[in-house]
Amino acid sequence: MTVSMCRRLSYVAVLTLAIVAGTATTQSRPNVAAHGMVASPEPLATDVGVAILKAGGNAFDAAAAVQFALAVTYPAAGNIGGGGFMVGLTAVGETFALDFREEAPAASTEDMFVDGDGEMVAGLSTRTHKGVGVPGSVDGMLELVDQYGTLTRADVLAPAIRLARDGFPVSYALAGSLQRNERLRQFASSVEAFGLEGDGPDMGDLLQQPDLAATLEAVARDGRDGFYTGRVADLIVADMQANGGLITHEDLRRYGAEWREPLIFEHAEYQLVTHPVPSSGGMTIAQTLAVLNMPVLERVGYHSAQAISMVTEAQRLAFADRNYWLGDPAFFDVPVTRLLSRDYMEQRRRLLPQNGMAGTSTGVSHGPLESDETTHFTVADRWGNVAAITTTLNSGYGLGAVATGAGFLWNNEMDNFSARPGIPNQYGLLGAEANSVQPGKRPLSSMTPTIVRRFGDFYMTMGSPGGPTIINTVLQIYLNVTVWGMDIQQAIDAPRIHHQWLPDRIDYEPFAISAETRAELERMGYELNERRSIGMAAGIKKTPEGFLAGYADRRGAGTARGY
């Protein structure tokens, strides 16, 4: 190890200790900085990313460090036992997409979650080890550091290892989350890992995770072989065999993150850089924006009944296409070009209601074509590199089971496949053959990490957790900034609405619509449903002076910090 590397590691270690000793608070205004910015859902992980930037790492080093730190400090969604998507923008203007989504094990079958009558078996895909997909987060982050980072994997993993080994004070939010979660208590490995005997940890208690620290140390030492082969892989397979899971040593050896061409589309003077399928968010947003009449939307006013109706009807069409046409492109020929073509968008636009009344989802299907628990974080550095990552275990805490001896939580991502066409998953989304279960296939996702450029320059980046609400959260943040003139904090904090084709209703947050607007929407024929919260976004926007303004959603306990 070189002297300079020792200095970097020492600096990161000192800063991590300072992070753990400090008091984590949420923010009420955007944080503005000149040299780098990190926005994540968990303050300790945010500070890990800032420490990496200060130690000389770039945005991609910091993003990987945040991912590993979230696996320690934000177990509800941060992970090494799940997967996700990333889009990146380099200092020289290169864009890329990284798919580290989970895969179906080789023993998976198309009808594995239905009974003999073709009906979904309740809980089989979400509450048993059969619902676990082969995790991709470790391979994805190692690929990112290897291809675009400037530090070593030991540098990047050092803060997460320290947090897991030495522990950190449990926050108020984490204490409440662990104490309330009954799914974790169903598994002895999780009870032990999180100290859930009795009431569980209190705020201020030190949470140490020695098994997770040992797993992270193996990755730091041996790279992907520290997770996908060797001792950790043996622990994974043993845990699967003991609990009826499907993942084998061969599944682990075969897994590899995929570098993909990002989905890039133009809208007015903006260019949106998003992840392609099997992420569905970019396609759905592109179709929604293409159908919307933007001058009329701007004229009718923010969250007026007509504006909400316009967005809802565009979303209705886009989600109908999403649920039928989108899936893993390695297994299904997704007609991306045709779905985004001018002719096809004009066909769909003609289906919009013309009488000022609500449309119906039963009257809308996919178009004919020729031959809620996830997390998002983003990092921008002083050189112009930008990383946007959305990562997930699927449900909050995933399956709820910690891999015995390995210390990390399992995903339950197999529920994101279509168990059978027409059967909804836990988010109410219907799917078709494009997203059926097949060995080695990656399930369709709503994750939508997005980077926006304006006249060729970085403008902003954002993303969110929330199942299908992710797509509409990102869409509304974009519209809030570009149409309604909000800053990044206003755009993220603004109350949201959601429509996803089926169920045929508009969900809305408290204060998202006035009493008069609600009455008008009901007169138009819409069913309305108030829900407590939609999404939990994080974003960074460049200020007119060229600084970086970062913000994490008031709906959570996250932070944005820079230097």
Question: Which residues form the catalytic set?
Answer: 374
Residue type at position 107 = A
DSSP track, 185-252: GG-HHHHHHTT-STT-PPTT-EE--HHHHHHHHHHHHHTTHHHHSHHHHHHHHHHHHHHT----HHHH
Please tell me the distance from the alpha carbon of residue 217 to that of residue 413, in angstroms, as a whole number. Answer: 26
Residue with tokens 């140490």: 208
Question: Tokens standing for 39?
Answer: 């926005």
Please tell me the distance from the alpha carbon of residue 550 to that of residue 487, in angstroms, as a whole number. Answer: 10
303 phi and psi angles, rounded to 5 deg: 55, 30
Question: Tokens standing for 380?
Answer: 């921008």
Please tell me the distance from the alpha carbon of residue 402 to that of residue 14, in angstroms, as a whole number. Answer: 29
Burial status of residue 191 (CB atoms within 10 A of its CB: 0-12, 13-18, 19 or more):
middle
Assess contact for 75 and 402: CB atoms under 8 A.
no
DSSP-based three-state secondary structure for 218: helix
Q: What's the first-to-final CA gap in the chain, in angstroms?
A: 28
Burial status of residue 316 (CB atoms within 10 A of its CB: 0-12, 13-18, 19 or more):
buried
CA angle, 191 then 23 then 509, to 5° = 75
Those residues with Cβ within 8 angstroms of residue 472's Cβ, 6 or more apart along the chain or in another chain: 315, 496, 497, 498, 499, 500, 534, 535
Please tell me the distance from the alpha carbon of residue 518 to that of residue 344, in angstroms, as a whole number. Answer: 32
Please tell me the distance from the alpha carbon of residue 490 to that of residue 474, in angstroms, as a whole number. Answer: 14
Question: Tokens standing for 220?
Answer: 């730091």
239 phi and psi angles, rounded to 5 deg: -65, -40
Residue with tokens 């989802």: 361
Nearest CA to 51 among 11, 4, 108, 88?
Answer: 11
Nearest CA to 107 among 236, 245, 243, 228?
Answer: 245
Those residues with Cβ within 8 angstroms of residue 71's Cβ, 6 or more apart along the chain or in another chain: 78, 79, 80, 81, 137, 160, 212, 216, 408
